[in-house]
Structure formats: C-alpha cells, structure tokens
Chains A and B, each alone.
Chain A
Amino acid sequence: MPSRDELRQYYEIGGELAPAVHQHQDWPYEVPHPRYVAYMAPPHDVGGQADAPVRYEEKEEELWELNTYVTCEVLGWKGVWNSEERRRRGNNDLGLSLYYGLPYYGRWIWSAARMLVDKNHVSLTELLDKIAEVRSRYGKQ
C-alpha cells in the first residue's frame, strides 16, 4: 500500500500531466478549433513538433524491452493481433501525456495487455491478480 505521502504525489503528478491551457476557461464546452485539431492528431505524428536538442546515445536494449518485442511479435504470429498497425493504434490510444511519458517499449506492453483484456483472452481481474503475485514474489509492494 502506498503511504499517504506517496498517494498525494501520484495525484499531483496526474494533475501536472493534464493539458496546460494558459487561458481562462470555466469548462471546455467550447474548444478553439486549432486546439481541437491538435488534440485529435494521433500522438505518434511528431514530425514538425518543436523540441529541444537531444543528446545522441548508443544503447543496447534492456532484457524487458527484448521480451516485450518478442511477446508482441509472437501474439502476431499466433493471429491474436497484428503487431504493426493494431499495436501502434494501441500505443496512440494512451493519449498524449502517457504516449510521451512512457518508454518506447512501455507503450508496446501496455498495448498488448490492453488488447488481451479487450479480446477477453485474459480478464482484468486475472491480470491484476497475476501482477500482484509476481510483485509479492519479488518482494515489491
């Protein structure tokens, strides 16, 4: 169980990830058209976005990243989904904040889990129980 301090921190991070609209609005009944267009763009359409320079770094994949890749591809070979557009659509369905906030393969594994639940290959309660079991096996909270 998270401490009350940790809990407060989780909610604060959530609030910070909400769209920062620097204009007064009572409630977004009316979204200005340019903002609407920007909202509707799939998050992976990043070409043309302004960004700060990023340091180029050579890096090997982590084991969990390789495992994620193989899991997604095997689900494709098994015909459970296609690991290209269906997986990529799932990545985009995270929404802007989480799409940009998670690591590349974090988006993949989220999409795979979501698809397996959507298609009733595993129930959400089964998945939660399994994650809890693995956590306790590794001594994590």
Chain B
Amino acid sequence: MESNDAKTVPARFNVGDRVRVRDLPNLFYTRTQMYVRGVSGTIAARTYEDLIPEDEAWNRDEAPREQYYIVRFRQKDLWEDYPFDNDTLQTEFPDRWLEPVSG
C-alpha cells in the first residue's frame, strides 16, 4: 500500500493542542469509538501518515494520506462516574476525525 506519489493532507495539529473528536454518524465502518465522539482531549503525539481506515477498508489505496495523532483524554471526561481524577486514556485518530478546540 505504500505509494510515494500519494498525496498527504497537511497536518493541522501539534503536540499539546486541544482537540475534539467529531460526532460523525456510524455507517458501515470506522475505527473511531462512540465513547470519544464530541469529547475533548489533548494531542499527546504525532505518529505517522497513512490512509484513513474508512478508505483503506474499501481499498481506496490512492486516497490522500493523513497525519495520525495519539489523543489523551481524562477518563472522567469519558465516563462520568469514573472514580480517579488523574487517570487518562489514549487512543489514535487520523486528522479528519478531529476539530480544534478554541481557548
């Protein structure tokens, strides 16, 4: 699947940026969990550029690559009754699943 002439969408986020996971509908396939939709977190790392799952799953191998990020959430932001304040959860998304959080 590696292709040198594949386009890459410019990365929009850097480590430390606040981001919110977009609340897109579920239809057929995604790797983006329901429990993170609409929740804000912090970019913990920029990992690699690759096809997004929604394209790769239908062999759209020429689709543009996107930057992937590891986003860190507070467990309490994900699960209201989570008992420990300092615990976090990290999971990974391509650029298009994230939107900037201002302020």
Contacts and interface: CB of A to CB of B under 8 A. Distances in A.
Contact of B26 (A42, A47, A48, A88): A42
Contacts of A86: 56-59
B25 interface: yes
A97 B78 CA distance: 27
Contacts of A45: 33-34
A85 B56 contact: yes
B90 to A, nearest CB: 13
Interface string B41-65: 0000000000101001111010000
Chain B: interface size category: 10 to 19
B29 A92 contact: yes
Q: Is the interface of B mostly helix, strand, loop or mixed?
A: loop
Interface string B15-34: 00000000001111111011
A47 B33 CA distance: 8
A40 B56 contact: no
A81 B59 contact: yes
Given A47-B33, A47-B35, A37 B53 contact: no
Contact of A37 (B26, B33, B59): B26
A42 B30 CA distance: 7
Contacts of B59: 81-82, 86
B56 A84 contact: yes
A47 B79 CA distance: 11
B29 A41 contact: no
A63 B25 CA distance: 39
A89 interface: yes
A40 B57 contact: no
Contacts of B34: 41, 45, 48
Given A48-B34, A48-B35, A82-B1, A42 B29 contact: yes
Interface of A: 37, 40-42, 45, 47-48, 81-82, 84-86, 88-89, 92
Given A88-B29, A89-B57, 16 more contacts: A41-B26, A41-B34, A42-B26, A42-B28, A42-B29, A42-B30, A48-B33, A48-B34, A81-B59, A82-B56, A85-B51, A85-B53, A85-B56, A85-B57, A86-B56, A88-B53
